[in-house]
Amino acid sequence: MVDVAQLVEHWLVVPVVAGSSPVIHPTMSLTQPDEALEERELFEPDRAWSTVVWNDPVNLMTYVTHVFRTYFGYPRREAERLMLLVHHEGRATVASGPREEMERHTEAMHEFGLWATVERI
Amino acid sequence: MRVQRRRGDIVVGLDAVERDLLASLATQYDEVLHDDEGDDAVHDRLFPVAYRDDPDADDEFRRYTYEGLVERKSANAGRIAASIAAAGDGRILLDPDAVGAWLPALTDLRLVIAERLGIRHDDDTVPDDQLGQVYHWLAELQARLVDAVDR
């Protein structure tokens, strides 16, 4: 069992490691010209966006699966497949649809402590 | 640490040291959430970018979601403290709603500690120091909770 005897330390509020570092960012994708964006929004309003969950070294595989099951309602096997995609490929598309809905999912993932982004399909 | 399922609820048995530790961490987590002047890297982990290549869209997303996220994450932190306080010296009883508050808060706590420890990639190793041990302990607690609720 872990020895957690000294509780008085203020670990989180006072950094123990000096300096800050950038959060991991995936490879930036190329921005598309504005005209192209507008065109897509006009002609594919409902399926043009997706919610992508990214790998991080912190989250437990079982927890990620748990979130995919409880929040999105995926069956266990599908939730595990998506979790493994995140783990091995670094990312998985977990939903697609209208932009507002994808933003809601992204916000929910952030609430769960997972890193998600809104992506144009 | 003992985590058991009892009907629909989860019973968590922690010793006094562990209870105090977790209550202290929950309080510190709440402080971090409300610390706008704090560590940017920690902040970016708790409130990550939503649009990778569109700063304007990301700003707008943040404007609409930030306060609500802080509020709900803070409520989760409070839920941990409340569950522990309610248990006194006994075992901590978590209904499904409480588990739903504990799991995201434990995740965020681990994100904050990971940033402090410099764990940013899959192959980064957890230092064998006290904070590293706390990090592992939180993972163990979270893993057992997930196993118990998903059984």
| Site from A110, A115, A118, A120 to mutate, B interface, most B CB atoms within 10 angstroms | A110
pLDDT, position B36: 76
A43 pLDDT higher than 60? no
Element housing A94 (H / E): strand A91-97
pLDDT, position B23: 96
Q: Where are the domains of chain A?
A: 57-120
CA distance A96 to A119: 9
A 48-87: CB under 8 A from B? 55-60, 62-63, 65-66, 69
CA distance B129 to A88: 29
CA distance B119 to B117: 6
Give residue B18's identity as a one-letter amino acid code: E
Whether the CB of A34 is below 8 Å from some CB of chain B: the reply is no
Composition of chain A by helix, strand, coil, percent to 5: 40, 15, 45
Q: Which CATH architecture group holds A57-120?
A: 2-Layer Sandwich (3.30)
Using the Cα atoms of residue A103, residue A108, residue A110 and residue A114 in order, give the sign of their dihedral.
negative
What is the full per-residue pLDDT of chain B (151 aa) written as tens digits?
A: 999 999 889 999 999 999 999 999 999 999 999 987 767 889 999 999 999 999 999 999 999 999 999 999 999 999 999 999 999 888 999 999 999 999 999 999 999 999 999 998 888 999 989 999 999 999 999 999 999 999 8
Whether the CB of B118 is below 8 Å from some CB of chain A: the reply is yes
A4 pLDDT higher than 80? no
CA distance B150 to B146: 6
Range of the domain at B145: 2-150
pLDDT, position A5: 38
Structure tokens at A106: 């992204």
Give DSSP secondary structure letters for B54-119: -HHHHHHHHHHHHHHHHHHHHHHHHHHHHHHHHHTTSPEEE-HHHHHHHHHHHHHHHHHHHHHHT-
- Our CA-based measurement puts residue A3 at a distance from the nearest CA of chain B, in whole angstroms, of 7
CB spacing of A107 vs B134 below 8 angstroms? no
The per-residue pLDDT for range A61-93, each reduced to its tens digit, is 999 999 999 999 999 999 999 999 999 999 999
Number of domains in chain B: 1
The Cα diameter of chain A in Å comes to 61
Does ipTM surpass 0.90 in this model? yes
Task: Identify which of B28, B107, B121 has the shortest CB distance to residue A113.
Answer: B107
Cβ-contact B54, A31 below 8 angstroms: yes
Of residues A45 and B149, more confidence is placed in B149
A11 pLDDT higher than 90? no
pLDDT, position A42: 52
- Our CA-based measurement puts residue B147 at a distance from the nearest CA of chain A, in whole angstroms, of 8
